[in-house]
Amino acid sequence: MDSTFQDYAGALAINQSKNDVFLFNSNGNLVRGNGVSQRLSVPILSPDFNQEVQAVFRRERNRGIANPILVGAIPFDMRQPTHLIAPDWSERINALGYSLSPFMDEGFTHRVMEHRFSPDHNDFLTMIEQALSIFEMGHLKKVVLSKVLTLTLDRIIDIPRLLSNIMAQNPNAYHFSVPLERDVLVGASPELLLRKQGNKIFSNPLAGSARRLDCPDRDRQAAQTLLESSKDQYEHRLVVEAIRSSLSPLIHNLHIPDPPELISTPTMWHLSTQIEATLADINPPSLFDLIKHVHPTPAMCGTPTLEAQHCIESLEPHQRGCFSGLVGWCDFQGNGEWAIAIRCAQVSGNKATLFAGAGVVPDSNPESEWLETSAKMRTMLNAFGIKENVI
């Protein structure tokens, strides 16, 4: 096992009960931290949020940290409290192409003792049908509706081994382990909301998905069908145009390639667009201000945003919390990365909660959306080594 990952895994194993070890790993940055110097729970939409962030950074600099960092999670609903930490100790390795080298732990398996969907299959179909009827009544163009799967497993979950499997199975993802109050949010997101490096901004929205298939020929056909799907292309355009509209007032140059390209994870095909922009020179916004402009995108919420949020609140029977929110980091210099909290689980003891959503548009099929959300959960089920067909 790579020594850097081994060091992290050892620290995580020692501190599991304290829930104070953080990791965020991308193809350009590895950020690690442990311990808690300060916590910040002020909602990002609070008028005091930016002042509170600066106060945290000021106190960290007073204790001798030259470039302090905030790490953690921002909920889907930005009116809810954040889960941000200034760690006691942290490091950032900024080396494009650097990565950890976790191993695939074939012996890491779990049996499912109990499982429960919210909503269950029938209620999920009803929820999608209700959304389709809303499209006929108003201005809603897309809404992302989700389900959660709560698992009770046969043993306490070893988070370092789980994270190793997540990373080994999904090497090109944004890997994260984020301490929350009572549990740990761990996963491998394929989707970058925002990266800020100096005055450069990067985003990689994904919208339009198809399940990977075991047969290579059928898998290639599934990818081609996705690329040619008018429904999925429409869904993707809504996301890209929303990001364009949100960023345009804040930037000099905006590069958005067209059409989208195909990318894949071990379990899914996605339509993907790599967006790059340069911030305006005068009074450039902070990374958190950019987040307020862009999050949630139609990829996680829908469009128009307010109508979609109201639809989610009225139809989903569960609270999303950090699911489809953001995980990442931001430093005193204003650089940072925030990925969307999907393909993940909240873990505590022998309990795990998984989440998946699907973009619903006027020609969506309810059963197809159930199957898509189930396929998206396969990433985490594979990492847990769960063999039962619980989805």
| d(C-alpha 193, C-alpha 113), whole Å | 35
Q: Which of 114, 129, 141, 142 is catalytic?
A: 142
Partnered with residue 14 across adjacent β-strands are none
3-state secondary structure of 136: coil
To 10 degrees, the CA torsion angle through 268, 273, 278, 280? Answer: -100
328: left (phi over 0), alpha (psi -120 to 50) or beta: left
Evaluate whether 203 touches 192 at the Cβ level (below 8 Å). Answer: yes
CA nearest neighbour of 360 among 287, 300, 317, 319: 300
> Helix 305-315 to helix 121-135 angle, to the nearest 10 degrees?
150
Q: Which of 60, 147, 191, 337 is catalytic?
A: 191
Q: Is 235 a catalytic residue?
A: no
Amino acid found at 45: L
Evaluate whether 153 touches 111 at the Cβ level (below 8 Å). Answer: yes
| d(C-alpha 141, C-alpha 131), whole Å | 10
CA nearest neighbour of 143 among 134, 152, 156: 134
Q: Is 147 a catalytic residue?
A: no
Judge residue 273's burial from the number of C-beta atoms within 10 Å of its C-beta, 0-12 exposed, 13-18 middle, 19 or more buried.
buried
| d(C-alpha 168, C-alpha 103), whole Å | 6
Element (H, E) at 241: helix 230-247
Phi, psi of 149 (to 5 degrees): -120, 115
Active-site positions read 142, 191
